[in-house]
Amino acid sequence: MPKNSSQQPKIQYVANAPSNIAFLKYWGKDGKQWASNDSISMTLSKCETITQATDSSDDRVYLHGEYLNTDSKHGRKIYRHLQFLRTIVGVEQALEIHSHNTFPLACGIASSASGMAALTIAALACWTRSSNLTELAAAGYPLAKLAALARQGSGSACRSFWGGIVQWERGDSPATQRTYQLMPANDWQLADVIVCAQSPVSKDISSSAGHALAQTSPLFTVRRQGMPEKIKHFRQALQQHDFVQLGMLIEAEALEFIQVMATSTPPLSYLTQDLYDLLAFVRACRQRDNLPAYFTVDAGAAVHIICVADVAEQIRQKIQRNFHNFMIIVDKIGAVPRLHSRPAGQDSN
Ligand code: PMV
């Protein structure tokens, strides 16, 4: 006898999506989610968001096991994106969402990139009953389409759909922007030694508000004018696997990003004095100890030290010896998101 629907076990759709660190930053928008410039990032491996979606009688979102209100800081963005996705897909089914990051919240690692990517995949998988990315593509949602949808929740999320090194091209109009892989993850063993605050640091200014301020900096126009040349140099360094060249570009870009924020009205800074000291320390390690490592930063209280995987542990130890109040996460270049389904109640990832 066929089981009636109430006897069917509920199915959970589980997406793992990586975070990414931008070598060339997306900072400033020309219109709704239309980046002012192209950006280039490295997809991470360990730092990811895992999101489960199941059918529910109303939308309910849990982050690290805690229920989020629709008007809470994180809740607002997540419920809004869920509703946006539902309208695009043209369904009414409400969802229960459970999400957690493999890295601490508000420590300066971009959880909105991995979070919005994982939410987009899990929600669409549940609505279309897709148990893997191939089925989701067959249902009309290939990675490129998912990336374009995730971008509406958080711009940088669109780069988390490809592994390795990824470019988000702004195109000639909002509709022609796209993201694509510049280099697969196994082409160059790059690592990211992430040094961040041990306890959550709440941001006074969100990255969305920061994007809006970018154009108030007198340096913003200069930055934009230099972009085509900068992108060319980044791509050359990547093609030639020239780490010194790439590192110098990454660091120069990080300093330009810091300067644009510092000269915005009102001025913006996400780094603490200790983290500024760390920037100088990374340079000293390079000059004094010949360690090939270059820093970058993001819109959070963290410094990302980009190096080749062979020296990552050495760098971690050096920082641990010299700086005592930070958490250090050693991550490396990573691959594409993953999707699977399972009967509800089986919670291992
Ligand atoms: O994706 P958003 O809107 O949170 O913006 C992120 C911007 C930066 O992280 C500062 C830079 C980037 O390109 O990831």
Instruction: State pLDDT tens for residues 119-141.
Output: 999 999 999 999 999 999 999 99
* Residue 123 CB-half CA count within 13 A: 33
Tokens of 283: 């340079």
Distance between Cα 208 and ligand 1 center (Å): 8
Distance from C-alpha of 336 to C-alpha of 144, rounded to nearest angstrom = 12
Around ligand 1, the residues with Cβ closer than 6 Å are 22, 25-27, 39, 110, 112-113, 154-156, 207-208, 298-299
* Whether residue 199 has pLDDT greater than 80: no
Å from CA of 25 to ligand 1 middle: 7
For the CA of 207, the closest atom of ligand 1 is 4
CA 53 to ligand 1 centroid distance, Å: 25
Per-residue pLDDT reduced to its tens digit, 266-308: 999 999 899 999 999 999 999 999 999 999 999 989 999 999 9
Burial of 75 per CB tally in 10 Å (0-12, 13-18, 19+) = middle
CA dihedral (176, 182, 186, 192) in degrees, to 10, reads -90
> What's the whole-number mean pLDDT along residues 216-220?
97
- Tokens describing residue 265: 């009205």
Specify the length of the chain in residues.
Answer: 349
Task: Give the pLDDT of residue 345.
Answer: 80
Distance from residue 210's CA to the centre of ligand 1 (Å): 9
| pLDDT at residue 2, as a whole number | 38
Separation between Cα atoms, residue 113 and residue 120, nearest integer Å: 11
In angstroms, the CA 187 to CA 333 distance is 10
pLDDT at 110: 75
Atom 7 (ligand 1) nearest CA: 26
Say how many C-beta atoms besides its own lie within 10 A of residue 2's C-beta: 6
- What are the contacts of 230-238 at 24+ separation with CB within 8 A? 230/24, 231/24, 231/38, 231/40, 231/167, 234/23, 234/24, 234/40, 235/40, 235/167, 235/182, 238/165, 238/182, 238/183, 238/188
Provide mean pLDDT across the span 340-346: 90
Tokens 């796209």 — which residue? 178
Give the whole-angstrom CA distance, residue 4 versus residue 55: 16
- Residue 334 has a CB neighbour count (10 Å cut-off) of 21
Q: CB–CB of 271/195 below 8 Å?
A: no
Mutate to test the pocket of ligand 1, among 19, 23, 24, 27 (most ligand atoms within 8 A of CB): 27
Q: How confident is the model at residue 347 (pLDDT cuts 50, 70, 90)?
A: low
Q: Which of 198-207, 276-285, 295-304, 314-323 has the lowest mean pLDDT?
A: 198-207
Q: Give the pLDDT confidence of 1-34 residue by residue, as tens digits.
A: 333 445 678 999 999 999 999 999 999 999 889 9
Closest listed residue to residue 73, CA positions, set 261, 203, 200: 203
Neighbours of 63 (CB within 10 A): 21
Ligand 1 mean position, distance from CA 287 (Å): 30
pTM for this one? 0.95
Q: Quote the pLDDT of residue 200.
A: 66
d(CA 228, CA 120): 31
Q: Which atom of ligand 1 is nearest to the CA of 39?
A: 13
Residue 4: its pLDDT value, please? 40
Mean pLDDT of 55-62: 97
For residue range 60-81, list pLDDT tens digits in order.
Answer: 999 999 999 999 988 999 999 9
